[in-house]
């Protein structure tokens, strides 16, 4: 995962053992990224197999390496650029493997494919050990821009956690790390020219310039570009804390722990603002080598502009009819500064305003509509709408979003079908030239409710499904195959040190009083956090402890999903003929477990809030078992049973109890729904 553009599986396999070796050839193999990637590969093979594989390079020409890597041409000097060639071909035979790429990045991508193919020999009588299957792959990305946007303002994410995320990103062939470095809650970069930015705006939680360079080098080694975002003119409180003269109102500012849209704005009418930004952007343009520079530009609440007579006067004297026009004026001035420092500007889709230079890239967070509109107007763009991993949607939802197609509605969305809209899945109404303006997409993790300890679980494995959407051919859409492969990719990623599994186990262990509680594990396995922004309503701040059960469960419950699939399979068989033993067993186990988990919930102060959840699970299991009883025996229930039971089940389907959802409820509902009505 991501699934390659073309693959032919053959019989046989190539052993991966102590003698594993690599040869490097071709002019492009001298690229330092290739050599360090191969050295990482040796280490990772040792981790993945438990075999003490050593760095063993075979001289070109002497032949006989296990993996022969050929990189035809050198690349341009660093930094990596948008559109750099990432194609590769991988041929694995029983006697050796050949990875060929035109340029260094292709070799990096192919190495990840090779690593993910390593598996233990299976089946009776095979040689103990590990191998890769014989096959031929020709692979290339669908989109050249495949990113993750990480918010480090609302919760600071230390360097080690960022680097771990980069490890995961490169494993699934993502190539852009979009670093959301400033927001109302904190300014996370050391500026030497304007040191009060971090001194007053970060509570001491910021990256030094040395750390920034370290992360950029770390990403570059893994074929990942780093694009900094400094949000302006809104989401700007943290700028103003140290430099209140930038503000659109007078007085002092303080970074906020709260969430939402604040109305502190940079003043776009002062020349001081542009002198400041010229100095700041100049400093940051030198620190961040990528050709792109993100200026945010989203969610500008114009209140302070409207309230400020100086700004109103400026707008009149400059023929700026409304705040949108003022925002456009600001963007144009900032764009000239960004361009002056040798960068392309990128901004959230609000920056798409009249007279915006065509060199600006649009990042759509509000939907395909704005992306396509930009493309029709001649702007390049990337899609983030539908890829907000912080909303806790299942992998299937994000996987179903395509930058070039009308999106499905979000799960649990009750908006009726709008007949004027084309149906989900309808291809974008764009000419081939306009289609080329769509560069790809970025998943986004906004960190209101994510911290270093559960970040991995909020990103992985769903991010791998999004990565496949950006890399693999448009036609790669089979959900069952995706979930199947996602599971093994998820486990594979753990060898990189990702903590999506182990981190949550530790959190639940803490909840259970410091000891792993099997009943709590089972109980938690069918729950999910509430979706969308519905937790925010409850006054969370960046100081709120995120140490409750809802924080320790993955966004998507595999056990509940598998139960729902099992229900579908059972109901697809004519009534009375299916085998319901497995479903009955699951429901009985979950019901029994509610008895065992209650003392755990009662005795630990952070868990007591979940006692009603246990009651609800027991009730749902009971209803499910009743329904299976009627379905299996063919006996009809009493006249009111179905109506009453459906009403009860509907109290749990997509209904929060505290901050969690019981995700077996939709499956139970289908079972109840399938019971034949009694004929009164």
Stretch that binds its own copies, among 508-516, 527-535, 616-624, 667-675 (CB under 8 A): 508-516
Is 495 a binder of its own copies (CB under 8 A)?
yes
Stretch that binds its own copies, among 122-130, 333-341, 464-472, 667-675 (CB under 8 A): 122-130
Is 128 a binder of its own copies (CB under 8 A)?
yes
Is 39 a binder of its own copies (CB under 8 A)?
no
CA 150 to chain centre: 9
Alpha carbon distance 679, 465 (integer Å)? 47
| Residue written as token pair 């099997």 | 518
Is 77 a binder of its own copies (CB under 8 A)?
no
Question: Closer to its own copies at the Cβ: 164 or 225?
Answer: 164
Q: Exactly one of 72, 299, 532, 596 is catalytic; name it.
A: 299
Residue 507 CB, nearest approach to its own copies (Å) = 7
Alpha carbon distance 407, 372 (integer Å)? 13
Q: Residue 89, SS3?
A: strand
Residue 62 CB, nearest approach to its own copies (Å) = 20
Alpha carbon distance 448, 355 (integer Å)? 34
Is 545 a binder of its own copies (CB under 8 A)?
yes
Considering only 175, 269, 604, 626, the residue that binds its own copies (CB under 8 A) is 604
Is 12 a binder of its own copies (CB under 8 A)?
no
Q: Helix 558-571 and helix 665-674: axis angle, to 10°?
A: 10
Q: Residue 442, SS3?
A: strand
> CB under 8 Å to 546, separation ≥6 — which residues?
449, 450, 451, 454
Is 126 a binder of its own copies (CB under 8 A)?
yes
Is 494 a binder of its own copies (CB under 8 A)?
yes
Can you list the pairs that 647-653 forms with residues at least 24 positions away whose Cβ atoms lie under 8 Å?
A: 648/619, 648/623, 649/620, 649/623, 652/616, 652/619, 652/620
Picking from 85, 56, 58, the residue whose alpha carbon sits closest to that of residue 71 is: 85
Q: How many CB atoms lie within 10 A of CB 361?
A: 21
Residue 238 CB, nearest approach to its own copies (Å) = 17
Question: Closer to its own copies at the Cβ: 202 or 645?
Answer: 202
Cross-strand bridge partners of residue 438: 381
Is 417 a binder of its own copies (CB under 8 A)?
no
Is 51 a binder of its own copies (CB under 8 A)?
yes
Stretch that binds its own copies, among 244-252, 373-381, 491-499, 670-678 (CB under 8 A): 491-499
Is 480 a binder of its own copies (CB under 8 A)?
no
Is 35 a binder of its own copies (CB under 8 A)?
no
Judged by CB under 8 A, the chain residues 608 through 667 that form the site for its own copies are 608-609
Cross-strand bridge partners of residue 16: 130
User: Strands 186-187, 145-151: parallel, antiparallel or unpaired by DSSP?
Assistant: unpaired
Is 357 a binder of its own copies (CB under 8 A)?
no
Stretch that binds its own copies, among 1-9, 439-447, 596-604, 612-620 (CB under 8 A): 596-604
Stretch that binds its own copies, among 77-85, 115-123, 292-300, 639-647 (CB under 8 A): 115-123
Residue 582 CB, nearest approach to its own copies (Å) = 14
Cross-strand bridge partners of residue 226: 177
| Residue written as token pair 């140490």 | 547
Is 514 a binder of its own copies (CB under 8 A)?
yes
Token pair for residue 630? 């009627």
Window 88-107: contact mask with its own copies (x via CB under 8 A): --------------------
Alpha carbon distance 363, 383 (integer Å)? 6
Question: Is 421 noted as a catalytic residue in this protein?
Answer: no
Token pair for residue 92? 């694995």
Residue 657 CB, nearest approach to its own copies (Å) = 17
Contact 188, 153 (CB under 8 A): yes
Residues in the chain: 680
Stretch that binds its own copies, among 27-35, 79-87, 392-400, 494-502 (CB under 8 A): 494-502
Picking from 300, 301, 15, the residue whose alpha carbon sits closest to that of residue 131 is: 15
Considering only 325, 396, 546, 636, the residue that binds its own copies (CB under 8 A) is 546
Residue 124 CB, nearest approach to its own copies (Å) = 6
Considering only 8, 95, 481, 488, the residue that binds its own copies (CB under 8 A) is 488
Picking from 343, 361, 346, 370, the residue whose alpha carbon sits closest to that of residue 296 is: 346
Is 572 a binder of its own copies (CB under 8 A)?
no
Q: How many CA atoms lie within 13 A of 137 on its CB side?
A: 30
Stretch that binds its own copies, among 295-303, 318-326, 537-545, 570-578 (CB under 8 A): 537-545
CA 213 to chain centre: 24
Residue 495 CB, nearest approach to its own copies (Å) = 7
Question: Closer to its own copies at the Cβ: 56 or 98?
Answer: 56
Is 436 a binder of its own copies (CB under 8 A)?
no
Contact 593, 523 (CB under 8 A): yes
> CB under 8 Å to 293, separation ≥6 — which residues?
227, 228, 281, 284, 285, 338, 341, 343, 344, 345, 346
Q: Is the dihedral of CA 210, 213, 215, 218 positive or negative?
A: negative
Contact 468, 486 (CB under 8 A): no
Question: Closer to its own copies at the Cβ: 186 or 228?
Answer: 186
Stretch that binds its own copies, among 43-51, 190-198, 466-474, 589-597 (CB under 8 A): 43-51
Count residues contacting its own copies (CB under 8 A)? Answer: 55
What is the residue-wise DSSP string for 354-413?
TT--TTPEEEESS-HHHHHHHHHTT--EEE-TT-BGGG---HHHHHT--TTBPPPPPTT-
Considering only 6, 12, 50, 427, the residue that binds its own copies (CB under 8 A) is 50
Considering only 49, 153, 364, 472, the residue that binds its own copies (CB under 8 A) is 49
Question: Closer to its own copies at the Cβ: 497 or 666?
Answer: 497
Is 13 a binder of its own copies (CB under 8 A)?
no
Window 201-230: contact mask with its own copies (x via CB under 8 A): --xx--------------------------
Considering only 290, 453, 456, 558, the residue that binds its own copies (CB under 8 A) is 453
Residue 46 CB, nearest approach to its own copies (Å) = 9
Picking from 420, 377, 380, 421, the residue whose alpha carbon sits closest to that of residue 403 is: 380
| Residue written as token pair 């649990």 | 412
Residue 125 CB, nearest approach to its own copies (Å) = 8
Residue 192 CB, nearest approach to its own copies (Å) = 23
User: Strands 186-187, 67-71: parallel, antiparallel or unpaired by DSSP?
Assistant: unpaired
Is 511 a binder of its own copies (CB under 8 A)?
yes
Residue 245 CB, nearest approach to its own copies (Å) = 28
Token pair for residue 606? 């952070």
**Binding stretches for its own copies (CB under 8 A):** 18, 47-52, 54-55, 119-124, 126-129, 155, 203-204, 451, 453, 487-488, 491-492, 494-495, 502, 505-507, 509-511, 513-516, 542-547, 551, 602-606, 608-609
Catalytic positions = 299
């Amino acid at each position: 995962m991501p699934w390659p553009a073309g693959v032919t599986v053959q019989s046989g396999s190539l052993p991966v053992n102590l003698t594993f070796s690599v040869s490097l050839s071709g002019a492009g193999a001298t690229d330092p990224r290739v050599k360090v990637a191969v050295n990482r590969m040796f280490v990772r093979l040792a981790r993945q197999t438990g075999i003490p594989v050593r760095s063993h390079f075979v001289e070109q020409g002497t032949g006989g390496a296990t993996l022969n890597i050929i990189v035809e041409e050198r690349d341009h000097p660093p930094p990596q650029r948008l559109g750099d060639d990432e194609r590769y071909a991988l041929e694995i035979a029983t006697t050796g493997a050949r990875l060929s790429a035109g340029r260094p990045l292709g070799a990096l991508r192919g190495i990840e494919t090779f690593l993910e193919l390593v598996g233990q020999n299976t089946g009776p009588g095979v040689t103990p050990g590990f191998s890769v299957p014989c096959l031929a792959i020709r692979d290339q990305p669908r989109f050249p821009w495949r990113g993750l946007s990480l918010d480090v303002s609302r919760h600071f994410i230390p360097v080690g956690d960022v680097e771990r995320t980069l490890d995961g990103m490169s494993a699934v062939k993502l190539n852009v790390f979009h670093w959301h470095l400033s927001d109302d809650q904190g300014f996370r970069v050391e500026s030497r020219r304007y040191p009060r930015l971090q001194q007053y705006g970060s509570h001491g939680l910021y990256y030094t310039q040395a750390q920034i360079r370290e992360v950029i080098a770390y990403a570059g080694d893994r074929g990942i570009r780093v694009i900094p975002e400094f949000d302006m003119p809104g989401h700007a409180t943290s700028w103003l804390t140290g430099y209140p003269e930038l503000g659109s109102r007078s007085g002092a500012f303080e970074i906020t722990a709260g969430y939402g849209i604040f109305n502190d704005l940079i003043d776009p009418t002062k020349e001081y603002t542009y002198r400041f930004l010229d100095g700041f952007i100049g400093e940051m343009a030198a620190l961040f080598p990528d050709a792109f520079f993100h200026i945010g530009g989203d969610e500008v609440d114009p209140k302070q502009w409207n309230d400020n007579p100086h700004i109103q006067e400026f707008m009149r004297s400059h023929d700026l009819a409304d705040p949108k026009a003022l925002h456009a004026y600001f963007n144009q001035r900032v764009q000239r500064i960004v361009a002056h420092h040798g960068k392309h500007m990128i901004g959230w889709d609000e920056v798409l305003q009249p007279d915006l230079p065509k060199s600006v890239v649009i990042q759509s967070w509000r939907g395909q509509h704005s992306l396509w509109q930009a493309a029709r107007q001649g702007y390049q763009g990337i899609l983030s709408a539908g890829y907000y991993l912080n909303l806790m949607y299942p992998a299937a939802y994000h996987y179903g979003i395509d930058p070039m197609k009308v999106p499905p509605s979000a799960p649990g969305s009750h908006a009726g079908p709008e007949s004027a809209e084309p149906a989900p899945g309808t291809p974008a109404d764009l000419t081939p030239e306009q289609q080329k303006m769509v560069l790809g997409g970025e998943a986004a993790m906004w960190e209101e409710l994510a911290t270093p300890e559960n970040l991995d679980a909020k990103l992985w494995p769903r991010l791998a499904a999004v990565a496949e959407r950006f890399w693999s051919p448009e036609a790669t859409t089979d959900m069952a195959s995706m979930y199947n492969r996602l599971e093994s990719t998820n486990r594979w990623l753990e060898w990189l040190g990702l903590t999506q599994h182990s981190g949550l186990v530790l959190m639940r262990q803490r909840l259970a009083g410091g000891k792993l509680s099997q009943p709590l594990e089972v109980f938690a396995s069918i729950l999910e956090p509430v979706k969308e922004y519905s937790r925010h309503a409850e006054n969370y701040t960046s100081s709120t402890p995120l140490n409750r059960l809802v924080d320790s469960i993955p966004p998507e419950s595999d056990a509940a999903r598998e139960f729902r699939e099992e229900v579908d399979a059972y109901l697809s068989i004519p009534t009375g003929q299916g085998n319901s033993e497995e479903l009955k067993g699951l429901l009985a186990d979950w019901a029994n477990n509610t008895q065992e988990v209650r003392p755990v919930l009662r005795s630990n102060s952070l868990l007591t809030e979940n006692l009603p959840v246990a009651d609800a699970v027991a009730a749902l299991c009971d209803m499910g078992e009743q329904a299976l009883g009627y379905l299996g025996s063919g006996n009809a229930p009493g006249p009111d049973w179905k109506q009453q039971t459906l009403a009860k089940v509907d109290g749990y389907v997509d209904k929060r109890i505290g901050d969690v959802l019981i995700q077996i409820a939709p499956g139970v509902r289908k079972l109840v729904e399938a019971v034949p009505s009694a004929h009164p």
